A and B are shown apart, each in its own frame.
Chain A
């Protein structure tokens, strides 16, 4: 494997667990362990999976004034979410947008005391942090945290596991953020993740990551899970993969992410607009869009993958959109996909036909998520 690939602090642990390492976003990451994608997916849905997500970008955002409200207001110049109202100990999902309303990246923003904590996608992290520093540098300091690891523990047993190792975690609800120690290592924890299950993402100094991972893996409910399972889990959960389901060519409204744009940032709100592409995005919220991201359930067992074209008819004469990601959904028990179609074909239940190897397979627009979420609200 190329020398230029980076490794996370858990690299040796992955190898010892039988991880099959593949290049991903500039890192050598485990696509699966000995159990395999299917078993790791099911174990996460039924018990708890441990994922190394240390490749993701972590950063702190501080206001030069020292006031967290100023950092929040500054960040609102780059994202459409309401950051100012984010209370300490809470997390929110949002996107960095460009002047055309396209999505530069999607990210999680947490507030812990006087600090905003950002978690961004691995492939975008350098560009994101440069963009934020360039745009907000007069008012804010962006502090990248390359020496922090990030470990996700996800699944219906994740809460019980972490309550054993860190009792105060039991008080957290979905999208809460708190600090506590796991195996003697100070962690910043959010009760969130990217699988549709209850669970936590734990950030810690790189030199404590192995201790935390081993403490979690020592619990009987926890098994390691790789990128393969992470992808099928997030797809069943209806969550977007940046670069596949959303990118600079899609807006948050086309991507069906307007739920993440709070009232205060919309037309008529207290701080309406003021983010890149706001004119386009707010107009789309008011007037609608010509295409929308949808879920797609395909009949039969053949998975339909990203890039497959979608048609209104079974002869492939009327194209209405395309698939952006697709796989077999182990919990759903059939092929699951997401994609974009013309808005007239976006209503749940609309029949479609997906092109696969020269055939047109019957499919239906499906409500997302495919699998009911297990969040602790």
Chain B
């Protein structure tokens, strides 16, 4: 199981041909307590860099961009009632959406944990 990161402060965990996507602890800290999270409907095809989900704090909305191209195949329903789960456990229970990966070749250009740690240092 490999975890990748993006410069836009997302993480994705590859499970077979599906990527579980969320925001990093650093991003969750910067955004502050979330009050609303939603993802594109299941079945929606998104290209790498397209908005795939939205997270909202009291003050502002922020797009979550698809780290790789794919099809939305899941949303973390727990966030509908408790969006602040993202703040409490951003890189595990607070995952946001699942994408069926269209082009696994895009993964190679993403950051690994060390490169991401260096980015936010």
Interface residues of A (CB under 8 A from B): 31-32, 36-39, 41, 228, 231-232, 301-303, 305, 327-328, 330, 357
Contacts and interface: CB of A to CB of B under 8 A. Distances in A.
Contact of A357 (B32, B54, B80): B54
Contact of A330 (B36, B38, B56, B58): B58
Given A302-B38, A357-B54, A231 B32 contact: no
A41 B58 contact: yes
B54 A232 contact: no
Contact of B59 (A37, A39, A357): A37
Given A37-B32, A301-B35, A303-B36, A228 B58 contact: yes
A327 B61 contact: no
A12 to B, nearest CB: 23
B32 A302 contact: no
A83 B61 CA distance: 42
A303 B61 CA distance: 8
B36 A38 contact: no
Given A36-B33, A303-B56, 12 more contacts: A38-B32, A38-B33, A38-B35, A232-B58, A301-B35, A301-B36, A301-B83, A302-B36, A303-B35, A327-B58, A330-B35, A357-B54
A23 B46 CA distance: 34
Contacts of B38: 302
20 contacts: A31-B59, A32-B32, A37-B33, A38-B32, A38-B35, A38-B58, A228-B32, A228-B58, A228-B59, A231-B59, A232-B59, A301-B35, A301-B80, A302-B36, A302-B38, A303-B36, A303-B58, A303-B61, A330-B58, A357-B54
Contacts of A302: 36, 38, 56
Contacts of B80: 301
B32 A328 contact: no
A30 to B, nearest CB: 13
Interface string B71-115: 000000000100100000000000000000000000000000000
Q: Which of under 10, 10 to 19, 20 to 34, or 35 or more describes the interface residues of B?
A: 10 to 19
Contacts of A305: 60-61
Contacts of B58: 37-38, 41, 228, 232, 303, 327-328, 330
Contacts of A327: 58-59
A32 B58 CA distance: 11
Nearest to B61: A305
A270 to B, nearest CB: 45
A103 to B, nearest CB: 24
A36 B32 contact: yes
Interface string B4-40: 0000000000000000000000000000110110100
Interface string B36-60: 1010000000000000001011111
A328 B56 CA distance: 9
Nearest to B57: A37
Contact of B36 (A31, A228, A328): A328
What are the 4 closest A-B residue pairs judged by CB atoms, nearest first?
A328-B35, A38-B33, A37-B58, A36-B32
Contacts of B33: 36-39
A323 to B, nearest CB: 13
A328 B35 CA distance: 7
A248 B54 CA distance: 33
Contacts of A38: 32-33, 35, 58
Contacts of B57: 37, 328
Nearest to B59: A228
Contacts of A232: 58-59
Tell which of B32, B36, B83 has the most Cβ of chain A within 10 Å.
B32
Nearest to A232: B58
Nearest to A228: B59
B25 to A, nearest CB: 15
A325 B106 CA distance: 39
A106 B36 CA distance: 32
A303 B83 CA distance: 13
A303 B58 CA distance: 8
